[in-house]
Structure 1
Amino acid sequence: MIDPPINFLFSDLVKFMSIGSDIRDKTRRVDQAYGQRGTIWSSDTIPYILSTSDALVIVLASISGGIFYHLFAGSPVPNLLPCCAVGLMAAFIYILRMSGVGYYDLPDSAKPGVEITEILVCWFSTGILLAFFAFLLKIGGDYSRGAFFAFYLVTPIGLLAVRKATKAKLASAVAKGGIRRRDAVLVGDQTEMAALAPRDRLALFGATDVKEFRLSGQVDPESRLADDEGVFEQIRAFVRRNNCREVLLVLPWNDTARIEFAREKVKNLPVSSRLLPDSHVRSLSNFVSSARQRVLAIEIQRAPLSAVERVVKRAMDILVAAPALAALLPIFVLTAIAIKLDSAGPVIFRQRRRGFNGKEFVMLKFRTMKVQEDGPVVVQATRQDPRVTSIGRFLRAASIDELPQLLNVLSGEMSLIGPRPHALAHDSYFEKILEDYAFRHHVKPGLTGWAQCNGSRGATPTVEDIAERVKLDLWYVNNWSLWLDVQILIKTFFEVARKRNAY
């Protein structure tokens, strides 16, 4: 039995919002895996704590500015609700702008030295934006200009003081080994890993303690390759088990073979990946001498969709799939009756496919063939395929056979829009002949996709055909937006009507 659609959306939102409640647990717990005791701060809690601190400063400064200005002017203290509203709006604008430049992220927030210029420029420009909005919305009558001026001057003092205090707290935590990045893993050559001093680690990834995986120190190439294969199997299991978001590589930059090997292995994981400077590059750049400069690193794999983007995409899936499923229920019933009358066998065809992060799931389709292949060999459909039933030809031409996948969408295994999933046998083959094929698993598979809307639909009998589809799928992964999904949905209706490559 399928739960009501609202339950799917509610459960996803609960998972997303539980990030805030997890902060208290993550910031004060013992990490048994490392065998240490004491207060452990996880890096993914730092941005929430710092941004919340700034928001409190701004809101309190707005309220205090309103109170003290009216007391100083000898007038009664007015309704403070406008002060709260202005403070919240200012906090939203300020935090949004500072987050965009990585102000709250490690390692920037852990570096010594307060970013005085950045804070002042951002705050005073925020004040200008607030004044502009007040003029447009004509709210000057509800909020005193004198209170706004006091708020405008007092707030940067509070922001600078809080930043100074949090810098001192983070420095103390780093000195005690109390900052740990649980969202990242460090993979590297044994010599390069040993050369990373605590200060280097802080400058490179904002923490002195990161889960490490050391590659083989064998001299023999074959032995080293075998050992490295085993290490990356451990990395793959750890990343998926702990929902890590980043893989950091510390390898000699002149060891191109090992860098390429690591890049190939990371492809199968939906994480961002960066190649950090080796000891030679660090000695040339002397990056630790400056607390403010950005650290040189090469991004070899971009991150998949963020948590916010995934929630937005999931909400769209449910809001479209649930009404569509209800509206199409009569077609489901008529199709099921037609299939049963046409040939012997089940109404629904089930086949294992790979989804996000390579996780297997069972995809649903209306049965259109006399066979139900789901093994090591799956033969793709061809034109005038004798295995296709009479009613199956019509269902495939009209794409009605794909409609049961709306249930896969509601259950969270698929999305409305994404790369079309292939049978496991085809996946294994395509991964061997196309080096970028694994990137398709960085998002959920879709009921329809960018490739299908651009003519790459149906069977892929040649390497060129699947290469073209993968190229279009990767473009979608790298350029996702909500508007793009809407465009693909609209184009899908016209593509279905054309019946191009549908057999």
Structure 2
Amino acid sequence: MTIPVEQNWGPHLSVKSDRKWFGFNSIAITGFAAAFDFILLIAASAAGHLFYERLVFGGLADPSLYVGIGLLVATIFVLAMFGIHAYRPGELLSFRRQLLWISAFLPAVFLFLLAVVLFLKIGTTISRGAIITTAVFSIGGLIALRLFWHRHLSRAVARAAFPSRRVLLICPGAMPTEPVVQRAALSGLCVKHTMRITEANMALASASEAYEKHGITDVDEVLVAWSDYGNLPALEQCLIALRQFCVPVSVMFGGIVGDVVEGLAQTVGERRVFQTHRPPLDYYERGLKRAFDIVFSIAALVVMFPICVVIAAAIKLDSPGPVFFAQSRKGYNGRAFRILKFRSMSVMEDSINVRQATRNDPRVTRVGSFIRSTSLDELPQFWNILRGDMSVVGPRPHALVHDDIYGALIARYASRRHVKPGLTGWAQINGCRGETPTVDRMADRVRHDLWYINNWSLWLDLKIVFWTAVTVIDRRNVY
């Protein structure tokens, strides 16, 4: 179901001026979070300089220069965080995303600062040791602040301590409301009353008395959550009846309609249309993604070469057969290629004779069990990436027989091939790794893959690579 996001529910939407204080609270939290970061980065710059001078030279120097450096660093960092709306309360609740942004933005700011120092040839004036100390202090302070926000905002939400806009939720009779209520709370919405419209009480949809009885005069917003598309006349009558009340009304759809309206909105004439499939990457985007693939795969092959040699030797000593295993897969636009892996099984299945590995699978060798669970068997695919068959990030390619099976069972399965397959992907860092014993498990993987395709950016690729390195230690669903 499509859940309203925080930025779509600004305080200006409320008709009742006496309820706008939640909007002030959200703005205040955003402002305080940005101000705390700004002050902390300036203080960290001065403290880093003083600490380094004391540690190395045994004295204290004038920190005014480093206060100025801290002012520059704080300005760039806070503006970057504002640019991605990282100070909104809903984003501050996600410690994982905050940690990712800090680990990306702050080193970039300090690298930029060091580049300026180098090109202006003022290295004798500014100590690089003090800059490094400042960076350590800054990262530690920002992480501590994020722990503070995560802890206290989570408690505030749990206690309903935030003043919030009161909502009348209107929905079909059989629809579960708990997920909507929980997600709405994070957006500053408090469901005070619920009104259910069923086929048995269709008259409720057009009766103004029914809305008054369900508390419409006591709320600031009306949220209509609809997924019963066999009963659209009730929705139409409901929206007509709500026009007589001076409260804002929003409609949230579930099912296929919810998936459609999550797409990019455009205007055609006087109508709004929603793009369900983004166009292929343009020349600039493809070039950017390809450059990242080449640089990253070369670096990975150089760094991982000793590990690859050890794995190859272990495979040869553990069981008879070749070191590498090649299998046919479908790539971009359905073009076939041969994917490379370290051999982890005693069989070399391909074409129509391919069976997914299961827990305690007797075909998996002793070395194979370890390299599969740690994903080390995938390292040779960096060669596929250099050849252009694959990308570092993208939907994971499946065996041809599985493509045929799931392509017939899942309507949007073929859309995964609108980009190159990847060594890792959005589905993998969201828990969709390993065996897919049911169609629902594969459908969930496809849903994540399509979200990635429709929302691609280089920043998203970097984020997925980072979290792949973090989540690869989770070996529960890989065997």
Shorter chain as normaliser: what TM range? 0.3 to 0.5
TM-score scaled by length of structure 1: 0.41
